[in-house]
Amino acid sequence: MAGDMTQAIDGILQRVTSGPSPIPGVAFVLTGRDGVAYAGAAGVRTLGLEAPMTTDTVCAIFSTTKALVGTVCLQLAEEGRLDLDAPAKKYAPALGEVQVLEGFSDDGSLQLRPPKRDITTRMLLLHTAGFAYDFFNETYNRLAEEHGQPSVLTATRASITTPLLFDPGERWEYGSNIDWAGQVVEGVTGQRLREALQERLLGPLEMTSSAFVLTDDMRSRMAMLHQRQDDGSVEPLDLILPQDPEVDMGGTGLYSTAEDYAKFIRMWLNDGAGPNGRILAAETVEMAVANGLGDMKIKMLPGVIAWLSNDAEFFPGMPKSWAITFMLNDEDAPTGLPAGSLTWAGLPNVYFWIDRSNGIGGFWLVQMFPFADPTGVGGFLDVQSAVYAALPAGATA
């Protein structure tokens, strides 16, 4: 794979940071089961400053946090401490107070009722509990605009104390479910989520530049978030995720690097084995990567808050399912990504994939809103295509 693939990916990284509608900087790491197959970066950490983007640049990874918290839930289930199908209020009592929003009265007040069934942790991990995000859902955006519902970016308890859009288990809706799964972890372990994650995952995988709260060393290597303007230009944002958060946000809150996240991907490629022992049993991995939605499919994410997200959908027109806690493409993708691979993303154009059949996975790290920026996501898909074009038939990395 090495020569042509390396040249192709290097060219893509240069193009997306210096060609039409450029992004400020990008880091990409491709890993196989035995180690890194490619690592590269282009552009700068922060526009207006000289520090180059590197594979050890620290970035806010937003929703790619979710898969790590899901992994800790799976560990606790393995240990018999967490029943994925028991009412989750057993571990996070506040979930027992959540109601379903049936609509708005003429005066704008909320029409609420109790849910028909309890939320389970499995529903949280599959995004079928009924929670949403204001930047992907018009009803939640109305809660924010008319009822003062705080954004999840505030990392407050109030930001996740929201009504359900439907009875638990009835359909798929992407939202703050994994923030609640983090609260389940805290209820089971008696630890802050940051402590449980460090002890169970970040430490054993030697992810030394990943945390909810930035260390001085991490801050010295940090890239700033940026915003694509209406005219196509890009400006830095004075936005850092809360560093004394009321809630460790299991859905959005981690900082990490491309190098670190590749270690997490490699564990999934190795059926749950890490460099210092097993993270998950192979049987747990097999259960987790299977479609958990039955006949339900995931849907396009509408960009309700334009500065945060465009309309977003991987491989439009292709059926896609959900595992714990990843997207599954049900068919082979046009990039070469085989059916049944694991994929997801984070709002500032952060994307990853895990292809267990070929033993390869990649992490693409950008720090710019809105999500699904054509240059940001287009570059990721081009890199994925370049990887599979260079992969000989039947070969693994």
Say if 340 falls within a structural domain. Answer: yes
Number of CB atoms found within 10 A of residue 394's CB: 6
At 155 the three-state DSSP class reads: coil
Domain membership of residue 162 (yes or no) is yes
3-state secondary structure 174-201: CCCHHHHHHHHHHHHHCCCHHHHHHHHH
Query: Two tokens at 31?
Result: 């890993």
**End-of-domain residue from the set 154, 187, 220:** 187
Query: What is the pairing mode between strands 350-355 and 342-346?
Result: antiparallel
Query: Does 292 map to a domain?
Result: yes
Q: Taking the CB of residue 198, how many other CB atoms lie within 10 A of it? A: 17
Q: Are residues 172 and 136 in the same domain?
A: yes
Task: Indicate whether 240 and 179 sit together in one domain.
Answer: no
**Which residues have a catalytic role annotated?**
63, 66, 174
Tokens of 341: 């691979």
CA distances from 35 to 15, 31, 176, 274, 359 (A): 26, 6, 33, 12, 11
Instruction: For residue 353, list its beta bridge partners.
Output: 343, 362
> Based on the domain organization, do 260 and 365 belong to the same domain?
yes
Q: Which pLDDT belongs to residue 353?
A: 98
Domain-terminating residue out of 187, 211, 228? 187
Residue 220 in domain:
yes
Number of independent structural domains in the chain: 2
Identify whether residues 228 and 326 lie together within a single domain. yes
Q: What pLDDT is stored for residue 391 in this prediction?
A: 87
91 and 205 co-located in one domain: no
Given 160, 187, 214, which residue is the final one in a domain?
A: 187
Domain that holds residue 118: 83-187
Which pLDDT score, from 0 to 100, does residue 338 have? 97
Write down the pTM of the prediction.
0.96
Are both 161 and 43 inside the same structural domain? Answer: no
Within a domain: residue 395? no
**Same domain assignment for residues 183 and 207:** no
- Nearest CA-CA partner of 356 in 372, 373, 343: 343
* Residue 396, in any domain of the structure: no
Buried/exposed code over 227-265 (b: 16+ C-beta within 10 A; e: otherwise): bbeeeeebebbeeebbeebebbbbbbbbbbbbbbbbbbb
Q: Is 92 within the bounds of a domain?
A: yes
Statement to judge: residues 225 and 103 lie in one domain: no
Residue pair 227/234 in contact (Cβ under 8 Å)? The answer is yes
β-pairing, 234-236 vs 25-32, is: unpaired
- Claim to verify: residue 254 and residue 284 sit in the same structural domain: yes
Q: CATH number of the domain at 383, please.
A: 3.40.710.10
* Composition of the chain by helix, strand, coil, percent to 5: 30, 20, 50
Q: State whether 120 and 15 are in the same domain.
A: no
Contact call for residues 371 and 349 (beta carbons, < 8 A): yes
pLDDT given for residue 392 in this prediction: 78
Same domain, 349 and 295: yes
Handedness of CA 237, 156, 179, 245 (dihedral sign): positive
Q: Both 232 and 359 in a single domain?
A: yes
| Residuewise pLDDT in 10s, the chain (397 residues) | 567 899 999 999 999 999 899 999 999 999 999 999 999 999 999 999 989 999 999 999 999 999 999 999 999 999 999 999 999 999 999 999 999 999 999 999 999 999 999 999 999 999 999 999 999 999 999 999 999 999 999 999 999 999 999 999 999 999 999 999 999 999 999 999 999 999 999 999 999 999 999 999 999 999 999 999 999 999 999 999 999 999 999 999 999 999 999 999 999 999 999 999 999 999 999 999 999 999 999 999 999 999 999 999 999 999 999 999 999 999 999 999 999 999 999 999 999 999 999 999 999 999 999 999 999 999 999 999 999 999 876 555 5
Predicted local confidence at residue 393, as pLDDT = 64
Judge whether 379 and 352 are in contact, CB under 8 Å: no
H or E element at residue 63: none
